[in-house]
A and B are shown apart, each in its own frame.
Chain A
Amino acid sequence: MKLIKIDKKSLKEGIDKLKRTYGVFGPVREKDEFEFKALGAAEMPDFSFSNTRMSPKAIVYPQTQLMFTYSLNDADDDCRILKEVPMDERPRAVIGIRPCDALAFPLVRRNFDTPEYQDTFWVKAYEATTFVGLACNVPCGTCFCTSAGTSPFGKEGLDVLLVEDGDDLFAEALTPKGEALLETAGWTAEAGGGAEEKITALAATANEQISSTVAFDNIKNREILELYNAPFWEEEGFSCINCGTCTYVCPTCWCFDIQDETYGKSGVRMRNWDTCMSPLFTLHASGHNPRTKKVERVRQRFMHKLKYYVDKYDNGIQCVGCGRCVRLCPVNIDIRSICNKMNNFDSEACKCETASS
């Protein structure tokens, strides 16, 4: 493992250099909260954050994305022909993404980039992006990444991993893309001896601080209908107000809705993030809606993340343990409790209980 050392001064110089080649994104403080933003010429990423309020998924997958334009003017040669909106395919770099959020990109890729279908908008943006992670020295109480496929110092999905050590950073290139970025930034000073041990110790301390876990080892072996018909959905879904908070703040929620907006004789086709919490999500053109009750929608979100995804991809749950939905759900629906409930659910015991009561 080749480790680079970046001190404060060379961090700034390096980021200035990166801005000439990359569109650079980083965490910045905005109205008391942190968000990932494109950094302006004088802006630096602010590493004093725990994590951003919104996930960085929008850097690759914006909430509203123009896909096509069209003309409805018969006099135009290209009338009624969809023309693809040119994408910004210049290289971009996300500096300071947390390992949980980084894992979300390869996870989401399973949906957007398959041998049969490629979502070109997502794939082009993803391929243009270099992911520079920042290890979590101090995870928070709602983090459960260690049971969701990564860890505070996890590397999956990253091109570079940065580790904070006081005022300095250690950097490790994990891919050729990452090596190119370090080269461009001029971050080449090798860290001296002992860096590796230091990182191992910091990682161990961070891991120990993860205080919450989820278990899903039993979920795969359960029948879909057994979980689907479980009695706990009614109670767990009661408080849900069916807003889209959990899905919009989630780094792994990938659903979108396509809309055409016509202004006079021209228009755009766009896609917007969609949310399975909304009745509109499943409203058919006929007027029929297969998911009319809110409890059915709550169940759908968790069944998708924790059962259907697990069954389809055999690659863990569709969740990276960032804890945003736990922190931001207005009514405190907690995916950790639901996951553990699904994992521990015993339909036989449940039947006995019902029979005896």
Chain B
Amino acid sequence: MTGYTEKIREIAARLLTEGKVDRVIGFRKGTVPMMNQPHYVTSPAMAGELIWDSHCGLNLANYVTDRKERIGIVAKGCDSRNLVTHIIENKIKRDQLVIIGVPCTGMVDRSKVCALVEGEITSVEESDDAITVSGNGFSKTIAKTDVLRENCAVCTHRNPVIHDEMVGEPVAEQTGVDAYASVKKVEALSPEEKWNYFEDLISTCIRCYACRNACPLCYCPTCFVDESRPQWVGKSQDPIDVRTFHLLRAYHCAGRCTDCGACETACPMGIKVREFTKKLNKDCFELYGWEAGLTLDKRPPLDVYKTDDPDDFIR
């Protein structure tokens, strides 16, 4: 995956030179280790600013919502699925996009890496399957598979599902992973244990809404938590309101979430907010055989009514 940077730059420069797009959206190198920044370039000379490594965990589909120009966009598997969702939901037109597909072997969870070393990490180097982190008096090489983000560890759609360019050969898809193992663990708990589990999960929430805002699905002009006429949710740290936010946010993503993990990557408090959305992904899979963003030809299950929709839950 480390060789992708050159290829991305080459494609971006070509698309801009040929006038096929007005801008290319990708990542640029961040100012702190293991952080990259969503970025756009508008001229071939700027293409060299784009990079790719295992710290591109945000979802770039979030940056094309309702844009009017022609856009080249760098997209790993999950980003491409959110582009599909965006196209279906009329948030961008297919012919506005040149999708630069990135076969992905997963993004790294910064907090997992930091937990493996004592001291501050000041530099990071990456090879195909390992990263080496160094700081004052230490250097450690870590297998990437040991520090993948949890959504990446169970991802079965690493290759872009839709693309106009590809920066490399498709990678092997993971098989034999249980995508819903974490949900099953929670499902097995008693109601009281579940309650305590979720109370603890969101106990540090500061309601910054980074999870919501990093999500490509959350594009409502006014979010229900921001609405004041009527005001649906209180704005304080009252646990009832904090819970309401998390549960409703998740439900609004039902049948649309691609488990890209941007929400969890963005959370400054390290809250595993995917625990909510993942349950709904599992329900959609079991009820409708549905995984979001895999095809442009089918509407999401909660968008349509079918006579054979499961209705066992109605009692």
**A residues engaging B (CB < 8 A)?**
30-33, 50, 53-54, 63-64, 140-142, 235, 238-239, 241-245, 248-249, 257, 259, 261, 270, 272, 275, 278-280, 283, 326-328, 330-334, 336-337
Given contacts A53-B269, A241-B210, A272-B237, 15 further A-B contacts (CB under 8 A): A31-B270, A32-B270, A235-B39, A238-B38, A238-B39, A241-B213, A243-B212, A249-B206, A249-B268, A272-B236, A283-B228, A327-B32, A330-B265, A331-B37, A331-B266
A140 to B114, CA, bound (A): 14
**Given the contacts A50-B120, A272-B237, A248 and B266 also touching, CB distance less than 8 Å:** no
The answer, yes or no, to whether B122 is at the interface (CB within 8 Å) is: yes
Tell me whether B268 and A245 are in contact (CB under 8 A): yes
With both chains docked as a complex, state the minimum distance between the C-beta of A288 and any C-beta of chain B, in angstroms: 14
How many residues of chain B are within 8 Å of chain A by beta carbon?
A: 38
With both chains docked as a complex, state the minimum distance between the C-beta of B1 and any C-beta of chain A, in angstroms: 20
Q: Across the interface, which residues of B come within 8 angstroms of A30, CB to CB?
A: 204
Query: What would be 21 A-B contacts, judged by CB atoms less than 8 Å apart?
Result: A30-B204, A50-B120, A53-B269, A54-B206, A63-B236, A64-B236, A141-B120, A235-B39, A241-B62, A241-B210, A243-B209, A243-B214, A244-B210, A245-B210, A257-B235, A272-B235, A283-B228, A326-B31, A330-B210, A330-B268, A337-B31
With both chains docked as a complex, state the minimum distance between the C-beta of A4 and any C-beta of chain B, in angstroms: 30
Q: Across the interface, which residues of B come within 8 angstroms of A337, CB to CB?
A: 31
Q: Across the interface, which residues of A come within 8 angstroms of B120, CB to CB?
A: 50, 140-141
Tell me whether B266 and A241 are in contact (CB under 8 A): yes
Tell me whether B31 and A279 are in contact (CB under 8 A): no
The DSSP consensus for interface residues of chain B is loop
**Given the contacts A32-B270, A243-B209, A278 and B226 also touching, CB distance less than 8 Å:** yes
Tell me whether B268 and A259 are in contact (CB under 8 A): no
With both chains docked as a complex, state the minimum distance between the C-beta of A236 and any C-beta of chain B, in angstroms: 10
Tell me whether A332 and B236 are in contact (CB under 8 A): no
Q: Across the interface, which residues of A come within 8 angstroms of B122, CB to CB?
A: 141
Tell me whether B234 and A261 are in contact (CB under 8 A): yes
Q: Interface digits, B2-22 against A, CB 8 Å rule (1 contact, 0 not)?
A: 000000000000000000000
Tell me whether B206 and A248 are in contact (CB under 8 A): yes
With both chains docked as a complex, state the minimum distance between the C-beta of A107 and any C-beta of chain B, in angstroms: 21
Tell me whether B234 and A259 are in contact (CB under 8 A): yes
**Given the contacts A141-B120, A141-B122, A278-B226, A332 and B30 also touching, CB distance less than 8 Å:** yes
Q: Interface digits, B216-233 against A, CB 8 Å rule (1 contact, 0 not)?
A: 000000000010100000
A283 to B204, CA, bound (A): 28
Tell me whether B31 and A331 are in contact (CB under 8 A): no
With both chains docked as a complex, state the minimum distance between the C-beta of A66 and any C-beta of chain B, in angstroms: 9
Tell me whether A326 and B32 are in contact (CB under 8 A): yes
Tell me whether A279 and B270 are in contact (CB under 8 A): no
A286 to B302, CA, bound (A): 35
**Given the contacts A272-B237, A330-B265, A248 and B208 also touching, CB distance less than 8 Å:** yes
Q: Across the interface, which residues of A come within 8 angstroms of B265, CB to CB?
A: 330
Tell me whether B236 and A238 are in contact (CB under 8 A): no
Interface residues of B in 93-142 (CB under 8 A from A): 111, 115, 120, 122
- Chain B residue nearest to A241 (CB atoms) is B213
Tell me whether A330 and B58 are in contact (CB under 8 A): yes
Q: Across the interface, which residues of B come within 8 angstroms of A279, CB to CB?
A: 226
Interface residues of B in 49-83 (CB under 8 A from A): 58, 62-63
- A332's contact among B36, B204, B268, by CB below 8 Å, is which? B36
3 smallest A-B Cβ distances: which pairs? Answer: A330-B266, A243-B210, A244-B208
Q: Across the interface, which residues of A come within 8 angstroms of B62, CB to CB?
A: 241
Residue among B30, B37, B115 with most chain A CB within 10 A: B37
Tell me whether B234 and A239 are in contact (CB under 8 A): no
The answer, yes or no, to whether B207 is at the interface (CB within 8 Å) is: yes
A333 to B32, CA, bound (A): 10
- Chain B residue nearest to A33 (CB atoms) is B270
Q: Across the interface, which residues of A come within 8 angstroms of B39, CB to CB?
A: 235, 238-239
A337 to B31, CA, bound (A): 9
Tell me whether A238 and B226 are in contact (CB under 8 A): no
The answer, yes or no, to whether B238 is at the interface (CB within 8 Å) is: yes
The answer, yes or no, to whether B40 is at the interface (CB within 8 Å) is: yes
Tell me whether A239 and B38 are in contact (CB under 8 A): yes
A270 to B228, CA, bound (A): 16
With both chains docked as a complex, state the minimum distance between the C-beta of A29 and any C-beta of chain B, in angstroms: 12
Tell me whether B236 and A331 are in contact (CB under 8 A): no
A235 to B46, CA, bound (A): 12
**Given the contacts A31-B270, A244-B208, A278-B226, A64 and B238 also touching, CB distance less than 8 Å:** yes
A142 to B35, CA, bound (A): 13
- B31's contact among A33, A238, A332, by CB below 8 Å, is which? A332
Tell me whether B31 and A243 are in contact (CB under 8 A): no
Q: Across the interface, which residues of A come within 8 angstroms of B38, CB to CB?
A: 238-239, 331
Tell me whether B236 and A259 are in contact (CB under 8 A): yes
A283 to B120, CA, bound (A): 41
Q: Interface digits, B170-210 against A, CB 8 Å rule (1 contact, 0 not)?
A: 00000000000000000000000000000000001011111
Residue among A33, A280, A330 with most chain B CB within 10 A: A330
Tell me whether B208 and A280 are in contact (CB under 8 A): no
Tell me whether B58 and A336 are in contact (CB under 8 A): no
- Chain A residue nearest to B41 (CB atoms) is A235
- Chain B residue nearest to A337 (CB atoms) is B31
A279 to B32, CA, bound (A): 28
Q: Across the interface, which residues of A come within 8 angstroms of B270, CB to CB?
A: 31-33
- Chain A residue nearest to B115 (CB atoms) is A32
Tell me whether B31 and A270 are in contact (CB under 8 A): no
- A63's contact among B37, B111, B206, by CB below 8 Å, is which? B206
Residue among B115, B213, B237 with most chain A CB within 10 A: B213
